[in-house]
Structure formats: C-alpha cells, structure tokens
C-alpha cells in the first residue's frame, strides 16, 4: 500500500523514523538536483541535500500540512542552497575550482548531454552563464526547468508572488539569452 | 506594433510555460503568427530552455544515492554540540518572515534598555535630548546683563538681571560665578 506524503509525515510526527526514510527515498534525487543546480558541485550538493533532510526531520513536528510536503521541503532546500551558494561566492577561488570540476565532469562523453550536438561551446557558456545569475534568478530557473513546477508552487517555495516568479524568470532568461546570443 | 512586440516578448516565456490565462495566451498566439521577429524570440527561448534542461537535468543523472539515507541517519543520530543548535536556531530566526517580527521587537528592546539605563543611572542623558537653553545678553554695553535659563525637565524659565564687576571678563562661565545685583 502506497502512503501519501501527508500519511508519512504524520507517522514521522508520531516518531516513526522509517516513515521519514520513505520520504527521503521519494525526494532525495529531486532535492539533490535542485541543490546541485544552485551549487554546481556534486560533493557539496550531496552534503547540503543530506543536511536539508536532517533539517526537515528536526522541523517536521511543526509541519501542519498548510502547504504540500514537497513545497515545504523545497523551501528548506532552496534556502540552504542559497546560503551555501553565498558562502561559496565569498570564496571565489574555491568556487572557480568547483566550476572547473563540473565542466571536466560534463566533458566525459558518457555523461555529456551535448555529446552528439555540434555546440559544445553552448554548454560551457550556458554553465558559466547560469553561475553568473543571482541566487534568486538561479532558483526560479532551476525550479521551473528541472522540476517543472508551476509559478504558484515556485512562489510558495520562495515566499513570493506568482507575478514576482514570472518577472524573475523573464529577467533570468533575458540574461542567459543575452550572454548566449551567439549560440542561440 | 512595437509596443505589441514588447508586450509579447515580456510574456512569451510565461506563455511557453502555460502560465497565461486563455485570453492572454490567445493574444500571444495570434501575434506570433503575424510577427517574424517575435517568432525568432520564441525560437531562441525554446532553444535556451532545451539547453538548460540538458545541462541541469541530464548532467547529474549518473549520481548514486545508495548511501544517501545513511548520511541523513548519521546526522539524525549524532548528538550536536549546543552551539550548533543555537546557531541553527538563530539562523532560522533570520528568515524574512521572522525578521518582520524581529526588527520592531529589537527596536522596542533597545529603546526600553536605554530608558531603563537612565533610571538606573540618573546622571546618564541617553534617551532624550533635554534641549535646555541658556543665553546671556548685554543690555546697555555698560556691564548690565540679562541671563535666561530655560530648563525643559521641570519646565522652568529663569530670567536673571545682573551687573558685571569692574574688569570682569564677559565669558558665560565667569558670569555665572559673579554676584547678580537686582
């Protein structure tokens, strides 16, 4: 029998750690993808994603079900990833090394989504352009592109209106488009 | 036409995301049929979207999550140092919705602290500028003066007429030591 998120949350609130494990299994990949989109470093992202679930575990008793569990969880993830991203930005050398590693990783043929495409440069340019976005702009791009979330859900996660989400997405895309004009 | 193109380009992303209402979406669709420049904008955005998806989604597809839960479990079972808990709590307080309450609360606390300080240390004049007023003016140029002192705390005004002793300096500090003669 498949339990809903809310059923599992209630079991967690009653002290069943196995129910929380089930929630982790459901969302670990999605949360990791969101964090990775913001941080661009696999090791850091894995660490932050685990920390996200730990934070969720500690706060789960206070979760009343006012929003869906995944928007609540994503909110924790985005906030923690943005914090971590800001700390990385304060350490540009480390950030640059991480970026280089990401580019190296993506150059491996079996992992490369552009391996059959002619525009390797576009991929490198895009990766760099994403990293030049502000954390808020990056967050909307990732939540929309990776997770395909609606503007309403993104607004709930980021604590802003749908109009703000629309505006942030518009400007983030404009910035990316401007930087990649030669490739598009 | 230019205005309509600007309007379309501002909303074309939302249109592609299926986030516009029926009438707005129809407006964009009709405009795109007749405007080559806006169709080009749409093409670029579609390519951008596809590239973003390829970089952000396909890239990390080979990551293993075998040990993910054990990492979370370790964190749950590890007893954290008190300062980690404390900083976590402070960090949670620093989120924007919490700050909305925190800012006025801090202002009230600071003001309360300053007023309390003044009552514990009567000499301290931190909270309120008293704006007491003192002035000395010569009346006739021959040593007769008028001094005005206004004290705001007790709302008292003193007007003081006196005459300088011969050879006395006219500075305020010394005048205050001279004997007034009425």
Domains of chain B, residue spans? 2-54, 90-128, 133-177
How many other CB atoms are found less than 10 A from the CB of residue A75?
18
A24 has pLDDT over 90: yes
CB-CB contact of A111 with A14 (8 Å)? no
* Of residues A122, A113, A176, A167, the one with CA closest to residue A140: A167
| Rounded-to-integer distance, Cα B18 and Cα B136, Å | 79
pLDDT of residue B178: 41
Identify the residue whose tokens are 């869906």. Answer: A68
**Residues in B lying within 8 Å of A, measured between beta carbons:** 10-11, 13-14, 17, 19, 44-45, 47-49, 51-63, 65, 68-69, 71-73, 75-76, 88, 91, 95-97
CATH of domain A5-179: 1.10.1740.10
What is the maximum span of chain A, computed from C-alpha positions, in angstroms? 56
DSSP chain B: -HHHHHHHHHHHHHHHTT-S-HHHHHHHHHHHHH-HHHHHHHHHHHHHHHHHHIIIIIGGGG---TTHHHHHHHHHHSPPPHHHHHHHHHHHHTSHHHHHHHHHHHHHHHHHHHHHHHHHSTT---S-----EEEEEESSSSSEEEEEEEETTTTEEEEEEEEPPTT----HHHHHHSPP--
**Chain B contacts of A111, Cβ < 8 Å?**
59, 61-62
Q: In the structure encoding, which two tokens stand for residue A135, read together?
A: 């954390």
Of the candidates B48, B65, B96, which has its C-beta nearest A176's C-beta? B48
List the strands of the sheet with B156-163, edge to edge. Answer: B133-138, B144-151, B156-163
Q: Does A49 touch chain B (CB under 8 A)?
A: yes
Of the candidates A51, A106, A145, which has its C-beta nearest B49's C-beta? A145
Asked if the Cβ–Cβ distance from B55 to A126 is below 8 Å, we say yes
pLDDT digits (tens, 9 = 90+) for A123-158: 888 888 988 899 899 999 999 988 899 999 999 999
* Of residues A1, A60, A66, the one with CA closest to residue A27: A60
Mean pLDDT value across residues A165-169: 95
pLDDT digits (tens, 9 = 90+) for A64-98: 887 899 999 999 999 999 888 777 766 554 444 45
Q: Does A164 touch chain B (CB under 8 A)?
A: no
* Of residues A164, A141, A147, the one with CA closest to residue A68: A147
CA distances from B139 to B98, B142, B147, B162 (A): 62, 8, 10, 10
Asked if the Cβ–Cβ distance from A79 to B95 is below 8 Å, we say yes
The alpha-carbon gap from B41 to the nearest alpha carbon of chain A, in Å, equals 10
pLDDT of residue A27: 95
* Of residues B170, B132, B171, the one with CA closest to residue B153: B132
Q: Does A171 touch chain B (CB under 8 A)?
A: no
**Chain B contacts of A170, Cβ < 8 Å?**
10-11, 13-14
Asked if the Cβ–Cβ distance from B48 to A145 is below 8 Å, we say no
| Rounded-to-integer distance, Cα B95 and Cα A99, Å | 28
| Rounded-to-integer distance, Cα A149 and Cα A71, Å | 10
| Rounded-to-integer distance, Cα A15 and Cα A5, Å | 15
pTM: 0.66
Domains of chain A, residue spans? 5-179
Of the candidates B44, B75, B95, which has its C-beta nearest A50's C-beta? B75
Q: Does A160 touch chain B (CB under 8 A)?
A: no
Of the candidates B56, B65, B72, which has its C-beta nearest A37's C-beta? B56
Per-residue pLDDT 10s for chain B (182 aa) are 677 888 899 999 999 999 999 999 999 999 999 999 999 999 999 999 988 888 887 655 678 888 999 999 998 888 666 676 777 677 666 666 566 667 777 877 887 777 676 666 666 555 455 567 777 777 666 677 778 787 777 777 787 777 776 544 444 443 444 444 33
CB-CB contact of A35 with A49 (8 Å)? yes
pLDDT digits (tens, 9 = 90+) for A44-56: 999 999 999 999 9
Q: Does A147 touch chain B (CB under 8 A)?
A: no
């Amino acid at each position: 029998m498949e339990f809903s998120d809310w059923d599992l949350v209630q079991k967690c609130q009653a002290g069943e750690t196995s129910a929380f494990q089930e929630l982790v299994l459901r969302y670990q990949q999605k949360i990791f993808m969101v964090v990775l989109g913001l941080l661009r470093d696999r090791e850091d992202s894995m660490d932050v994603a685990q920390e996200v679930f730990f934070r969720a575990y500690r706060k789960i008793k206070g979760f009343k079900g006012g929003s869906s569990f995944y928007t609540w969880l994503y909110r924790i993830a985005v906030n923690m990833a943005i914090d971590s991203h800001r700390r990385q930005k304060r350490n540009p050398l480390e950030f640059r090394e991480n970026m280089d590693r990401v580019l190296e990783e993506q150059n491996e043929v079996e992992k490369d989504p552009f391996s059959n495409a002619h525009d390797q440069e576009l991929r490198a340019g895009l990766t760099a352009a994403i990293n030049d976005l502000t954390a808020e702009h990056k967050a909307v791009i990732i939540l929309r592109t990776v997770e395909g979330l609606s503007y309403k859900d993104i607004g709930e996660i980021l604590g802003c209106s749908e109009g703000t989400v629309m505006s942030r997405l518009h400007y983030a895309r404009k910035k990316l488009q401007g930087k990649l004009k030669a490739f598009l | 036409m230019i205005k309509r193109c600007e309007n379309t380009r501002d909303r074309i992303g939302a249109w592609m995301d299926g986030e516009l209402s029926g009438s707005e979406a129809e407006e964009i669709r009709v405009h795109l049929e007749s405007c080559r420049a806006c169709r080009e904008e749409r093409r670029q955005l579609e390519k951008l979207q596809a590239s973003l998806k390829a970089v952000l989604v396909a890239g990390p597809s080979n990551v293993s999550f075998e040990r993910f839960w054990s990492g979370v479990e370790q964190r749950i079972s590890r007893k954290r140092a008190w300062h980690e808990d404390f900083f976590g709590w402070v960090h949670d307080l620093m989120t924007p919705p919490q700050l909305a309450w925190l800012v006025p609360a801090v202002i009230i606390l600071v003001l309360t602290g300053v007023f309390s300080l003044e009552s514990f240390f009567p000499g301290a004049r931190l909270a309120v500028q008293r704006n007491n007023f003192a002035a000395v003016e010569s009346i006739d140029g021959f040593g007769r003066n008028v001094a005005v002192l206004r004290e705001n705390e007790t709302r008292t005004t003193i007007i003081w007429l006196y005459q300088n002793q011969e050879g006395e300096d006219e500075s305020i500090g010394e005048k205050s030591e001279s004997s007034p003669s009425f």
